[in-house]
Amino acid sequence: MPKCHYTDEDKTVHLYHNMHTSKWWWNCQKKLDEEHPGITVILVIISSDKTQVTMLHNKTAYLVYMTISNILKEICWKPSHQAHILLAYLLTTHLKCVTNKASQCHMLANLYHACMGHILAPLSTVGIEGINMQSSDGAM
């Protein structure tokens, strides 16, 4: 749930320190709650990092991770809290068969984005239609 935190008693100075304290999220939550009471906005965050993977004979790969935005940054930033899940390993390629450097860069970017599109395709309908989830008290 979005939250509004203030630095003063008059509630005139809004404090932003986590994603769920932003005005955008608050406004989005209010609008959706008017249309569908009880609905909660949860943003999905995808991150990717190119890294050396020793288990794959020292090849480089983009590791693609997912988390949700209502997890506090203090928890999200610590790998030991396991707030991210690994979605995919995208092995890198050099496309040595393409000699033009600009074409090679363009093709690598297209390949990366096509792979990401394939990985994230199941989220597209959920983002539009939503999904029923059980809360901690068992309510839907």
- My answer on whether 8 and 33 are in the same domain is yes
Residues 51 and 113 occupy one common structural domain? yes
pLDDT at position 18, please? 62
- Local confidence pLDDT in tens for the 140 residues of the chain: 556 667 778 877 766 656 666 677 788 888 988 988 888 888 898 999 888 888 878 889 999 999 988 787 788 778 788 899 999 999 998 898 999 999 999 999 999 999 999 999 999 888 888 888 887 788 77
103 and 120, same domain (yes or no): yes
Domain range for 24 is 1-41
CA distance 10 to 6: 8
110 and 63 in one domain?
yes
Q: Where are the beta strands (DSSP E) in 12-132?
A: 14-15, 44-53, 59-68, 85-91
Which residue in 132, 33, 47 sits closest to 88, CA to CA? 47
pTM confidence score = 0.72
Same domain for 60 and 9?
A: no
For residue 38, the model assigns a pLDDT of: 82
Whether residues 92 and 121 fall in one domain: yes
Same domain, 80 and 125: yes
Residues 72 and 101 occupy one common structural domain: yes
The answer to whether 115 touches 107, Cβ cutoff 8 Å, is no
